[in-house]
A and B are shown apart, each in its own frame.
Chain A
Amino acid sequence: KAGVTQTPRYLIKTRGQQVTLSCSPISGHRSVSWYQQTPGQGLQFLFEYFSETQRNKGNFPGRFSGRQFSNSRSEMNVSTLELGDSALYLCASSLNRQGAQDGYTFGSGTRLTVV
C-alpha cells in the first residue's frame, strides 16, 4: 500500500514568489495535516483538513493557505515567499474523523528553499 506522497521533493523559489505543494494521502485516509519543520522552531502545525473542510489552523500568517479535494488529496500554498519560509513541509494523513487520535502517517516532505 502506497504511503503519503508529497510532490515535489525539492523546490527553490525566489523571495516574493508563491508556491504550491501537493500531498496525496494513503488510500482511504480522509484527514490530512500539514506541518512546517525548521531547525529553529522544530515541527509546527499549519492546518488540518477532513472531508474538504479545514478544522484547525496553526499560528501562521495568512500567506499560508491550503485546501483539500474530494479525493482527499491536499495542497498548500504560500504566497509572497520570505527567506524564513525555507523549511521542510510535511504532510500527514489519518484514517478517520478523529485525525490526531488515530495516529498520523507522514510523508517524506517537500524541502523548500527561498533565495
Chain B
Amino acid sequence: GESVGLHLPTLSVQEGDNSIINCAYSNSASDYFIWYKQESGKGPQFIIDIRSNMDKRQGQRVTVLLNKTVKHLSLQIAATQPGDSAVYFCAETPNDYKLSFGAGTTVTVRA
C-alpha cells in the first residue's frame, strides 16, 4: 500500500491498495482528535475520532493511530476505493469550543 512518513499535500494510490495519511498536531493539551473527509462541493464529513486515552481505534475500513509522544496522528484506509478520493483533514481540539485543522491531504485513487 501507499504510505507517507510525513504530511504530504497529495497522495496517489492504486485502487485496492491500503492508504496511510499522516498528520502532526500542535497542541499538547488537545485530547480529542477527528479525521474528516471533504469531497468537492461539500462540507467536511466525519470519518473517525479518537480520544487521547487511546492509541488506536478502528472503524469500517479505517483505522486511526495516535502517538502522543511525537504528537502524530495517522489514518489508514484499507482496500482504497474510487469513492475514497477526497481531501482528508485531521483536527484537534485545543479547547471545548473549536477545532484546529491540519492542512489536508488530497487522495487520488487510480483505477
A54 CB → nearest B CB, Å: 9
Interface size bracket, B side: 20 to 34
Instruction: Tell whether B59 is near chain A: CB-to-CB under 8 Å.
Output: no
Number of A positions contacting B (CB below 8 A) = 24
B38 CB → nearest A CB, Å: 9
Q: How far is the CA of A108 from the CA of B101 in the complex (A)?
A: 17
Contact with B98, one of A4, A33, A42, A108 (Cβ below 8 angstroms)? A33
Q: Which residues in window 22-47 of B have CB below 8 A to A? A: 32, 34, 36, 41-46
Stretch at the interface among B10-18, B64-72, B76-84, B88-96: B88-96
Contact with B93, one of A4, A92, A100, A107 (Cβ below 8 angstroms)? A100
Cβ-closest chain B residue relative to A91? B43
Interface contact B104-A42, CB-CB below 8 Å: yes
Q: Given A42-B104, A101-B32, A103-B34, do A108 and B97 touch, yes or no (CB 8 Å)?
A: no
Residues of A within 8 A of B89 (CB): 42-43
Interface contact B46-A105, CB-CB below 8 Å: yes
Residues of A within 8 A of B103 (CB): 42
Cβ-closest chain B residue relative to A88? B43
Contact with B97, one of A90, A100, A105 (Cβ below 8 angstroms)? A100
Instruction: Tell whether B63 is near chain A: CB-to-CB under 8 Å.
Output: no
Q: Given A43-B89, A101-B32, do A108 and B43 touch, yes or no (CB 8 Å)?
A: yes
Residues of B within 8 A of A105 (CB): 46
Instruction: Tell whether A58 is near chain B: CB-to-CB under 8 Å.
Output: yes
Q: List 26 A-B contacts (CB under 8 A).
A: A33-B97, A33-B99, A35-B99, A42-B101, A42-B102, A42-B103, A43-B89, A48-B98, A55-B97, A56-B98, A90-B43, A92-B43, A92-B99, A100-B93, A100-B96, A100-B98, A101-B96, A103-B34, A103-B49, A104-B34, A104-B46, A106-B36, A106-B43, A107-B43, A108-B43, A109-B42
Q: Give the top 4 A-B pairs by smallest Cβ distance, nearest first.
A: A106-B43, A56-B97, A43-B101, A100-B93
Give chain B's interface residues, CB within 8 Å of chain A: 32, 34, 36, 41-46, 49, 89, 93, 95-104
